[in-house]
């Protein structure tokens, strides 16, 4: 394929196509986990899949771990919390859509209340160390996400649970949470803190006075006497629950490996996002997690893809040369302005130059000398040709980036969604995204590749 032909491709052409409707319709599919790096449309993808599944007759709950408010706003809900809330305006027959956002502390409180007697639960909930742990201890959010997912699945109230995870490296913590929790609960520090409670009578006092006094004295200097006391009280109160934590975490981990679970890696056709996606694909394979495929969001397109960047720039230069005498300033070729840092996604899903007020597809003509009046047809055409060349270079770069990913992971099926002209902020927008996901092609004007 020539360079012109490569740049004329107006959309990516994955070797394997991800067909999402059969996945959503299959009664055996009970959990869909959307993961990926930040800012690639993970939350929107999760909400759109949940809405589409609901409108195809399934009872769905979407669980977001991302504290951003986009999900609630797009579903017409003032706010989301730890309780699933039904979304109004769902079309179709028989389906329902519910949404919720993980409240880490409230989930931890619910576990304590459910698995401890009232007196012990009250002691735990009022313990200062517990309050710090439940509000922001490292790894607590990911473990509580596992707990909440396990709770939702155990209730068997929904046909499908769609999980929106934090950015991918944090989502890896989502997978690691059960192992980390087990290591913490089985660690030497916990055993030391539990030892006085596990040894009774004079023997226990003797053990404490001889060996433990040295250890607790050292810990007291390190942590502070009151904090050490709070930790010991917390550990003693939680002792009977530790085994339950491990058991439930292991059960949820096995649930993520089960055939009824499907992972979707979400990315944009950008180098960093697809590098994260590749890392996650490899990690899922290592953990025997079922990967359904890759959702590639914000794929750019062109309605005039048969015109290559080189031909567009050559035509623009010819128009400039024919436009006036030799002393007429001629713009330098736009290709000089197309280095990696120069192209950015602007508001509205359009691409343009950081130093240019124009964006591809703008209804405004290129800026001209204020003293020269309106640009003539040749000047306007030359400007539009250069904008088109910029877009074709962007498409070519996206193609190369996607090709690198598929070369590394040819087994991964891909679904694509075109870059949209604006943000998704309601059910209509989510429904449109769902349709684009199911159609597995950008909805662009018909063109012919050359």
The 8-class DSSP code of residue 87 comes to P
* Rounded mean pLDDT, 218-241: 63
203 pLDDT more than 70:
no
pLDDT at position 104: 82
The highest-confidence range among 144-148, 205-209, 325-329, 403-407, by mean pLDDT, is 403-407
Q: Sheet containing 261-267: which strands, arranged edge to edge?
A: 85-86, 96-101, 59-64, 160-167, 31-36, 261-267, 291-299, 414-418
Model confidence over 86-108: pLDDT tens digits?
999 999 888 999 998 888 888 88
Q: Which of 149-158, 257-266, 370-379 has the lowest mean pLDDT?
A: 370-379
pLDDT at position 124: 87
Nearest to 429 by CA among 163, 51, 12: 51
Give Cα 197 distance to the centre of its chain: 44
- Other Cβ atoms less than 10 A from the Cβ of 346: the count is 17
Which helix (H) or strand (E) segment holds residue 312: the answer is helix 309-323
Q: Which long-range contacts (CB under 8 A, 24 or more apart) does 193-198 make?
A: 193/231, 193/232, 193/235, 193/236, 194/235, 194/236, 194/239, 196/232, 197/236, 197/239
Model confidence over 270-301: pLDDT tens digits?
998 899 899 999 999 998 999 999 999 988 88
Nearest to 404 by CA among 81, 84, 2, 12: 12
Model confidence over 349-396: pLDDT tens digits?
444 443 444 444 444 444 545 444 456 888 888 888 899 888 889 888
> Which residue's entry shows tokens 């992972």?
263
* Rounded mean pLDDT, 219-239: 63
Q: Which of 44-48, 143-147, 373-377, 427-431 has the lowest mean pLDDT?
A: 373-377
> Which residue's entry shows tokens 């160390």?
129
pLDDT at position 108: 85
Q: Is 104 exposed, middle or buried (0-12, 13-18, 19+ CB in 10 A)?
A: buried
Q: State the chain's mean pLDDT as an integer.
A: 75
How would you classify residue 188: left for phi > 0, otherwise alpha for psi between -120 and 50, otherwise beta? alpha
In sequence order, which residues have a C-beta less than 8 Å from that of residue 102 and are 6 or more positions away? 63, 64, 65, 82, 141, 144, 145, 148
């Amino acid at each position: 394929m020539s360079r012109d032909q490569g740049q004329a491709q107006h959309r990516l052409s994955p070797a394997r196509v991800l067909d999402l409707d059969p996945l959503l319709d299959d009664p055996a599919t009970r959990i869909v986990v959307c993961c990926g790096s930040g800012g690639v449309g993970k939350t929107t993808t999760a909400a759109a899949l949940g809405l589409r599944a609901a409108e195809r007759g399934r009872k769905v709950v979407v669980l977001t771990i991302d504290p951003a408010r986009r999900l609630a706003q797009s579903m017409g809900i003032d706010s989301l919390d730890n309780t699933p809330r039904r979304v109004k305006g769902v079309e179709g027959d028989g389906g329902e859509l519910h949404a919720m956002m993980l409240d880490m502390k409230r989930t931890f409180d619910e576990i304590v209340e459910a698995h401890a007697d009232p007196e012990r639960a009250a002691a735990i909930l009022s313990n200062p160390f517990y309050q710090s742990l439940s509000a922001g201890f490292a790894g607590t959010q990911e473990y509580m996400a596992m707990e909440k997912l396990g709770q939702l699945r155990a209730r068997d109230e929904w046909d499908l649970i769609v999980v929106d995870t934090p950015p991918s490296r944090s989502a890896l913590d989502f997978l690691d949470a059960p192992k980390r929790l087990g290591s913490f609960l089985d660690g030497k520090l916990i055993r030391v803190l539990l030892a006085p409670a596990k040894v009774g009578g004079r023997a226990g006092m003797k053990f404490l006075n001889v060996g433990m006094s040295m250890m607790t004295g050292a810990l007291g200097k390190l942590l502070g006497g009151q904090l050490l006391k709070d930790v010991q009280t917390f550990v003693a109160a939680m002792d009977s629950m530790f085994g339950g934590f491990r058991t439930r975490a292991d059960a949820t981990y096995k649930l993520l490996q089960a055939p009824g679970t499907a992972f979707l890696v979400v990315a944009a056709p950008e180098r960093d996002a697809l590098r994260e996606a590749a890392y996650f694909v490899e990690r899922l394979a290592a953990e025997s997690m079922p990967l359904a495929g890759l959702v590639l969001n914000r794929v750019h397109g062109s309605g005039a893809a048969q015109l290559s960047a080189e031909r567009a720039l050559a035509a623009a230069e010819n128009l400039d040369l024919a436009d006036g005498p030799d002393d007429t300033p001629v713009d330098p070729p736009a290709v000089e302005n197309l280095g990696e840092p120069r192209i950015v996604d602007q508001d509205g899903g359009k691409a343009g130059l950081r130093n240019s007020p124009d964006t591809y597809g703008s209804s405004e003509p290129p800026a001209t000398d204020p003293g020269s009046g309106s640009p003539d047809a040749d000047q306007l055409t030359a400007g539009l040709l250069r904008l088109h060349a910029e877009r074709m270079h962007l498409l070519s770069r996206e193609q190369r980036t996607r090709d690198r990913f598929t070369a590394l992971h040819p087994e991964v099926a891909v679904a694509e969604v075109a870059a949209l002209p604006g943000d998704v902020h309601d059910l209509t927008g989510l429904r449109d995204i769902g349709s684009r996901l199911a159609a597995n092609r950008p909805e662009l004007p018909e063109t012919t590749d050359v």
